[in-house]
Amino acid sequence: MTRVFESASDEQTRAIGGEIAGLLRPPLLLILTGDLGAGKTTLVKGVVAALNAGDEEAVTSPTFTLVHAYEGLQDGRPVRLMHLDVYRLESERQLATLGLAELMVDDALVLVEWGEKFASVTEMADGVIRIESLGADRRRITLSMPEADA
C-alpha cells in the first residue's frame, strides 16, 4: 500500500497523522524519514491524538530521551505507540541498548525517526513514512507499506 498526502500547514500534517493512524494495525514498525524540521514529530502528534493516547501538545521529539511511549485505543482495543528518535545514535551497538525488538509486542505501533541510518531497523521495518518539503510550509507525506499490498 502506498498513500500520498500533501500538507500546507502543521494542522494539516497533524490531520494526516490521524488519517495514517487509521491505516495502521499493530504490530507494526515504520521508519519516519525527512530532513530536520520536516514535520516528523508533528505527524506523530496527529497519530497520538487519533489513538486517544495523549494530548498532542505534550508530544515532543524524543531526540534526547530516545523513546516516548503512549497508551491509546484503536478500534476499541489497547494500542501502544512507541515513538523513537535515533538521530543521535552512531552505531548498531548503541541502537541495541534500546531493545527495539522487545518493543515489537502484539499491540505495538513503533515509529522510528531516522531509522534509515541503521540496517537492523530497515530490516525490521514494515514500511516508511517519508516527509518531503515542497517549499514554504508545503510537504508531501508518503506512507509505503509493501506487505499491506498483498
C-alpha cell belonging to residue 131: 516527509
Would you tell me how many other CB atoms lie within 10 Å of the CB of residue 86? 23
CATH code for position 118: 3.40.50.300
Q: How far apart are CA 51 and CA 53, in angstroms?
A: 5
CB 13 within 8 A of CB 43: yes
Range of the domain at 115: 2-149
Task: Specify the number of domains making up the chain.
Answer: 1
pLDDT tens digits along 33-87: 999 889 999 999 999 999 998 776 677 666 656 788 899 999 889 999 999 999 9
CB 91 within 8 A of CB 82: no
Nearby residues of 17 by Cβ (< 8 Å), 6 or more positions away: 42, 43, 44, 45, 46, 47, 48, 49, 50
pLDDT tens digits along 99-127: 888 888 999 999 999 999 999 999 999 99
Residue with the bigger pLDDT between 147 and 100: it is 100
Nearby residues of 109 by Cβ (< 8 Å), 6 or more positions away: 24, 26, 27, 28, 30, 47, 51, 79, 80, 81, 82
